[in-house]
Chains A and B, each alone.
Chain A
Amino acid sequence: MNLLERYLQAVGQYLAPGSREDVLAELRVNLQAEMDARAEEKGGPLAESEVAAILKAHGRPMLVAARYMPQQYLIGPEVFPFYVLTLRRTAPLVVVLYFVAHLASFIFSPNPGAFAASLAKSFVQLVPVLLISWTAITLTFAMIEYVHKQHGQGACLTEWDPAKLSSLAHPPKQKSPASRIADLVVHCLWMLYVFAIPRHPYLILGPGALFLTTLSAGFAPVWRPFYIAIIVLLLAQLAIKVVALARGKHRWEAPLELLTKILGVVPTALLALTKVYFVPTRPAANLHTLAQINDWMNAGFRIVLVIVVLNLVWESWQYFRRVVPTERLAF
């Protein structure tokens, strides 16, 4: 019986003090009755291993004690769907707000190394920010659960009005062949325009081209790889559009478009990480003004990069929400 007393002692450690003695007394009687019945079947006293087998079957002390405690949960089944929905809705919002708040540190980084370091640091710091937001939401919903449990079950959470349902969403229209042809023509015209820019800088700079001439300044070497990257991207997009026109809507069209958008970040990042866009072409050039122009352009490209990255994150999120089943996504 020593083993039984040790078992009861172990169970008692996890029971509420108010009911401990009563529960243990009842448990002792029931377990003893069980052991007596087994001993009677056997025709003699039980060995310690047989007592141990009965106790083992009865359950681990901590779990047995837990079953005597009132059921406890932080967020109950009625509030839980609202909690999950809030987590799903707020996570992207927190990410966007976080990066907008860090915009200044990206834009005013002194050099490309510091910019990259600032970007990496921001991603690392995003983890605790997300954890804090989840904790805050969890605590808020735990409080809502408490209030919900204390005052009136269900009324406010289950109450709803069918008249307030949003109107039926129309599936996205498939592009007609005419629309695809128009799209292709516009893309070709756009490519012609881009091809013409190196010989006719005023096409992109407008009156600024004249200003560059008076400033005795020309394009810096960074524009060459940028230009090549743009041409490659435009050619890739042209190929996708031509194939789409020939074969109609295909399931690979959307992921390929997304991929080209991801690759499109590369030239923008190239410009954002560079500091010199225009260089003097004559010794008499106004270096101070040129330096100012370069600084402002750098700040502008960094803003563009952040916007492009955020837009890409949003579009990727929208794409994966469409194609990946909800239960396989984190939110």
Chain B
Amino acid sequence: MFESLRLELRRGCLIVAVLAQLRHEHYGYTLRKALADEGLAIEESTLYPLLRRLETQGLLKSEWREEDKRNKRFYRLSGEGELLLEQLLVEWNGINESLNKILKQPR
């Protein structure tokens, strides 16, 4: 029960976190590592397909580039993605404030 609710809660937050982290360019592995370093570990099999989906939706842009003698696909937030991230953050802050108010109410 807790696990399924936890996953449901995380699902939306992860997208916001990925979009926010991609304000700076990353390729799949370094993005996962950066998120994990901030305390938000995501499974590879979830993150990599999510990047492609967000790119298909126009929120990310990507390019293949050589780095350390390896061709890597680098992602970053698109213009549309930046706009959407701002809206999502407003929404996120609103939810957060409301939740805090509710939690502060005496039982």
Question: Chain A: residues with CB nearer than 8 A to chain B?
Answer: 23, 25-27, 29-34, 37, 57-59, 63-64, 67-68
- Cross-chain contact A29 with B73 (CB below 8 angstroms): yes
Q: How far is the CB of A186 from chain B (nearest CB, A)?
A: 54
A52 to chain B: closest CB distance in Å? Answer: 15
Cβ–Cβ contact A29 & B49, under 8 A: no
21 A-B residue pairings within 8 Å (CB atoms): A23-B52, A26-B48, A26-B73, A27-B48, A29-B27, A29-B28, A29-B29, A29-B70, A29-B71, A29-B72, A30-B27, A30-B48, A31-B44, A33-B29, A33-B30, A34-B29, A37-B33, A59-B43, A63-B45, A64-B45, A68-B52
Residues of B within 8 A of A (CB): 27-30, 32-33, 43-46, 48-49, 52, 70-73
CB–CB B45/A67 < 8 A? yes
A68 CB contacts on chain B under 8 angstroms: 48-49, 52
Distance in Å: Cβ of A293 to nearest Cβ of chain B = 68
CA distance A75 to B42 in the complex (A): 29
The answer to whether B45 and A58 touch across the interface, beta carbons within 8 angstroms, is yes
Tell me if A67 and B71 are in contact (CB < 8 A). Answer: no
| Alpha-carbon distance between A33 and B33 when the two chains are bound, in angstroms | 11
User: If the complex has contacts A29-B71, A30-B44, A58-B44, are A67 and B49 also in contact, measured as CB distance less than 8 A?
Assistant: yes
Q: Within the complex, what minimum Cβ distance (angstroms) separates B78 from chain A?
A: 18
- Label chain A's interface by main secondary structure: helix
- How would you classify the secondary structure of chain B's contact residues: helix, strand, loop or mixed? helix
Complex contacts, A32 vs chain B, CB 8 Å = 70
CB distance from A309 to the nearest CB of B (A): 43
| Nearest B-chain residue to A27, judged by Cβ | B48
* CA gap between A195 and B102 in the complex, in Å: 73
Q: B28 contacts which chain A residues (CB < 8 A)?
A: 26, 29-30, 33
B101 nearest CB across to chain A (Å): 31
Q: Which residue of chain A has the shortest Cβ distance to B32 in the bound complex?
A: A30
Chain B residues whose CB sits within 8 angstroms of the CB of A58 once the complex forms: 44-45
Using A33-B30, A58-B44 as known contacts, list a sample of 6 further A-B pairs with CB atoms less than 8 Å apart, ordered by residue number in A.
Answer: A29-B71, A30-B28, A30-B32, A30-B48, A57-B44, A58-B45
Contact: B45 with A25, CB < 8 Å? Answer: no
Chain B, Cβ-Cβ closest to A65: B49
Closest 8 A/B residue pairs (Cβ): A33-B29, A67-B49, A59-B45, A30-B28, A30-B29, A68-B49, A26-B73, A64-B45
Residues of chain B contacted by A30 (CB below 8 angstroms): 27-29, 32, 44, 48
In the assembled complex, how far is the CB of residue A7 from the closest CB belonging to chain B, in whole angstroms? 12
Query: Which residues of chain A have C-beta atoms less than 8 A from B43's C-beta?
Result: 59
* Cα-based distance from A25 to B70 in the complex (angstroms): 11
A residues within 8 A CB of B73?
Answer: 25-26, 29
**Which chain A residue has the least Cβ–Cβ distance from B51?**
A26
How many angstroms from the CA of A64 to the CA of B47 in the assembled complex? 11
Contacting residues, chain B, for A25 (C-beta < 8 A): 71, 73
B44 with A34: CB separation less than 8 A: yes
Shortest CB–CB separation between residue A222 and chain B, in angstroms? 60
CB distance from A46 to the nearest CB of B (A): 15
